[in-house]
């Protein structure tokens, strides 16, 4: 009988759990680990002879170790050593798919990562195929990826994982890996970056919708996009991405369920669009600010400086001053007035693009608010600054309350 067949025969012998329990009971960690390893590899159905003295106890202890590997770290560590010794490290991913093995295999993998030159034992292809398991094992939360990035850095520097990734069909499920490789390479104009950008442009609207739905689960393409834009990569995403963003924005306006991560990164996501789609999106937001019934502070908080596009503002100058700016003064909303002043400061051509009657009417509104006793003390200095930006001069008495 060949050695492999003999080992398999011994591993699947129902009495093996009896031997395992006896070794464990004798505190023989080496023997316990070897028997555990053989069962793990060759006896996935856990065939056990219940009529052999301690077999049932052995099965119970085996399952206990699977469920609580850290509690039995002496045995778990020795099992990890056996995966290295017999060059079977890649088998852990297959075993991970079996019932009740996830916690044990996760710890085995962490031990391998921390104590070996793992790239010598697990191929790049295997890392790519099992990326989600690796990501879940090496991260404690969606915002804690330092250990995962360090792991990928080893493969980037020691293997051909980048080249092999680029030879594969692009798949959004590998976004955590794409992101880690991008961070490690830190080259916005690299061939890998160009590869990612070209593939992102090929995604359809339905792909982006799925990515939004998975945002809370793992670092998907949206995290990749934000990292690339922050590193000054020019993505130039087109209508497919624009439509998903605009629909998400519409949900937000109507009180629908939205993703917080997107809401916190609107400015960056808009910069991922190509020039025309970005301009269209911002123009739509400006239209909403002009047409809103009530305060616009929530929209302003979402987009802030992204709306300081003077060429786009220029086309809406008269409507902004005649409708929005007047309403801001009526609302006496600090956030709105500060944003108005920022717009006037950064885009002074607004004034010259307004009709003369619009400017005169707005100047009258400013004077009225400054002389109104009902205007809050924290708002008056802001309106006085508006007057200064408009080039309106007042006599000191015009800005004081009667009797002061």
Kindly tell me if the per-residue pLDDT of 1 is higher than 50. Answer: no
Q: What is the pLDDT of residues 215-260, one digit of tens each?
A: 766 678 999 999 999 999 999 999 999 999 999 888 887 777 667 7
pLDDT surpassing 50 at residue 10:
yes
Residue of 41, 42, 53 whose CA lies nearest to 13: 42
Residue 397 has pLDDT above 60, yes or no: no
Q: pTM of the prediction?
A: 0.80
| Mean pLDDT of all residues in 46-58 | 76
Residue 306, pLDDT score: 83
Compute the distance between CA of residue 201 and CA of residue 16 in angstroms, rounded to an integer: 56
pLDDT in tens, 373-391: 889 999 999 999 999 999 9
Average pLDDT over residues 97-109: 91
Q: Return d(Cα 110, Cα 13) in angstroms, integer.
A: 30
Query: Does pLDDT of 353 surpass 50?
Result: yes
Confidence of residue 392 (pLDDT cuts 50, 70, 90): confident
In angstroms, how far is the first alpha carbon of the chain from the final one?
109
pLDDT given for residue 53 in this prediction: 81
Mean pLDDT, range 36-48, rounded to an integer: 81
Q: Spell out the residues 6+ positions from residue 52 whose beta carbon is closer than 8 angstroms to its own.
A: 14, 15, 17, 18
Listed by start position, the domains of the chain span 1-118, 123-233, 279-404
Residues 302-319 have a mean pLDDT of 88
């Amino acid at each position: 009988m060949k050695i492999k067949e003999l080992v398999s025969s011994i591993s699947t012998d129902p009495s093996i759990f009896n031997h395992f329990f006896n070794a464990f009971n004798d505190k023989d960690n080496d023997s316990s680990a070897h028997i555990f390893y053989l069962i793990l590899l060759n006896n996935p159905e856990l065939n056990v002879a219940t009529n052999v003295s301690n077999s049932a106890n052995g099965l119970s202890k085996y399952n206990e170790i699977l469920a609580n590997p850290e509690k039995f770290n002496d045995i778990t560590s020795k099992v990890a050593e056996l995966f290295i010794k017999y060059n079977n490290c890649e088998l852990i991913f297959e075993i991970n798919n079996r019932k009740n093995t996830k916690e044990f295999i996760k710890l085995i993998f962490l031990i391998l990562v921390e104590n070996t030159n793992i790239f010598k034992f697990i191929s790049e292809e295997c890392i790519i195929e099992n990326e989600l398991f690796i990501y879940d094992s090496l991260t404690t939360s969606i915002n804690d990826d330092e250990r995962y990035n360090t792991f990928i850095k080893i493969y980037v520097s020691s293997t051909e994982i980048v080249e092999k990734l680029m030879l594969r069909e692009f798949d959004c499920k590998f976004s955590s890996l794409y992101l880690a490789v991008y961070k490690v390479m830190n080259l916005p104009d690299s061939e890998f970056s160009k590869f990612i950008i070209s593939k992102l442009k090929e995604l359809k609207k339905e792909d982006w919708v799925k990515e939004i739905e998975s945002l809370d689960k793992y670092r998907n393409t949206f995290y990749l996009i934000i990292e690339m834009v922050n590193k000054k990569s020019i993505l130039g995403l087109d209508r497919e991405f624009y439509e998903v963003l605009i629909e998400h924005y519409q949900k937000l306006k109507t009180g629908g369920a939205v993703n917080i991560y997107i809401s916190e990164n609107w400015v960056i996501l808009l910069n991922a669009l190509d020039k025309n789609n970005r301009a269209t999106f911002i123009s739509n937001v400006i239209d909403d600010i002009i047409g809103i019934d009530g305060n616009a502070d929530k929209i302003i908080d979402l987009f802030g400086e992204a709306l300081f596009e003077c060429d786009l503002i220029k086309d809406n100058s008269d409507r902004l001053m005649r409708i929005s700016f007047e309403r801001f003064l009526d609302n006496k909303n600090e956030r709105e007035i500060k944003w108005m002043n920022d717009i006037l400061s950064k885009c002074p051509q607004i004034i010259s693009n307004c009709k003369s009657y619009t400017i005169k009417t707005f100047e009258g509104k400013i004077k009225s608010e400054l002389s109104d006793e009902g205007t809050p003390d924290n708002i008056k200095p802001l309106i006085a600054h508006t007057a200064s930006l408009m080039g309106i001069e007042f006599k000191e008495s015009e800005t004081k309350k009667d009797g002061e």
